[in-house]
Amino acid sequence: MLKTSTYEDLTIYKMGRSIGKFVPYFVHCFLLEDTLIDTGTGFAGSEFLSALQGKKVNRIVNTHYHEDHTGNNYMLQQKHAARIFAHRDSIPNIENPRNVKLKLYQKWIWGYPEGSATEAIGDHLYIGSHPFRVIPCDGHSAGHICLYEPHKKWLFTGDMFCGIRNIYLRRDEDFNQILLSLEDLSKLKIDTIFCSLKGVVTGGGNALSEKIKYMKNLKKEILSLHRQGMPADKVRNKLLGKEDMMFYVTGGHFSKQYLINNVLASPYSKSTVE
């Protein structure tokens, strides 16, 4: 399934695997001038190619190597002769996607991308007349970048934002590191966030502040309850509830308990809780 929309001079592609009429998960890609930011899932590849008819994708920027961001790299490299750029730490996994062993749910929803030749991105790039800063952001995956356009106050966040109140953490994520990265991003003047999960988020600066507030408050509550002697599983039940479908569908890859445990394992990062 693929839906196309526009925002100012961007074209936005929202796509996901259709299973009958059901689409378990969506991801967004953004086309600005001749440059596509992320390429979605290969399961929507033919629809994506049709939607791009009449447009020329000369360049692809991958925010990171995850399979839902690189799924159509190879096809677009073949059909549009697009050059692909990413953070150098993401390149080995974009060129050889099977370096990363996908969980069953990931294979089902996204599938393995085909490998694509990728070049290291610099600190800055121009997309048409738009200057962009390339900002490495740790916490979600190795080699993740955000892209910031200071004139429009646009921030392309890949998977660093993903909504305000997240109650799960992926097994390879680091709560404190995500918080630190978001605090750094919040120093930018931001009008609009372009999020792989949520799409266009107007009032992006406020949304980012809200997310940081939520994460700091959650961390504070986790540490406070644990200091009072509450075991980690009880802290989870009190603050986030029991594990639910997300845990079972993803084979435990997204977990509330892991979020609690991750905060308790490294509570005293630079992002201090007052």
3-class secondary structure, 15: strand
CB of 231 to Zn ion, least distance (A): 31
Mark the segment that binds Zn ion (CB under 5 A) among 3-11, 50-58, 64-72, 120-128: 64-72
Q: What's CA 88's distance to the chain center, in Å?
A: 17
Q: How far is the CB of 198 from Zn ion (least distance, A)?
A: 13
Burial 174-205 (b: 16+ CB within 10 A, else e): bbbbbbbbbeebeebebebbbbbbbbbbeebb
Strand partners, 199: 195
Per-residue binding string, Zn ion, 5-34, x by CB under 5 A, is ------------------------------
The rounded distance, in Å, linking the Cα atoms of 12 and 40 is 11
126 C-beta neighbours (distance < 10 Å), count: 10
64 contacts: CB under 8 Å, gap ≥ 6? 86, 87, 90, 140, 141, 142, 143, 144, 145, 158, 159
Q: Stretches 81-89, 90-98, 152-160, 245-253: which one binds Zn ion (CB under 5 A)?
A: 152-160
Under the binding rule (CB under 5 A), the answer on residue 66 touching Zn ion is yes
- 3-state SS, residue 255: strand
| Residue 112 Cβ vs Zn ion, minimum distance, rounded to whole Å | 15
The smaller minimum CB distance to Zn ion, of residues 26 and 80, is found at 26
Beta bridge partners of 255: 169
Determine which residue in the list 159, 173, 174, 243 makes contact with Zn ion, applying CB under 5 A.
159
- Report if residue 170 touches Zn ion, rule: CB under 5 A: no
Separation between Cα atoms, residue 43 and residue 25, nearest integer Å: 12
Find the Cα–Cα–Cα–Cα dihedral 207, 209, 215, 219, rounded to 10°: -160
Q: How far is the CB of 140 from Zn ion (least distance, A)?
A: 6
Size of the site for Zn ion (CB under 5 A): 2
Stretch that binds Zn ion, among 35-43, 59-67, 117-125, 241-249 (CB under 5 A): 59-67
CB of 162 to Zn ion, least distance (A): 9
Q: Which stretch binds Zn ion (CB under 5 A): 70-78, 154-162, 224-232, 244-252?
A: 154-162
Stretch that binds Zn ion, among 58-66, 161-169, 182-190, 246-254 (CB under 5 A): 58-66
Residues that bind Zn ion (CB under 5 A): 66, 159
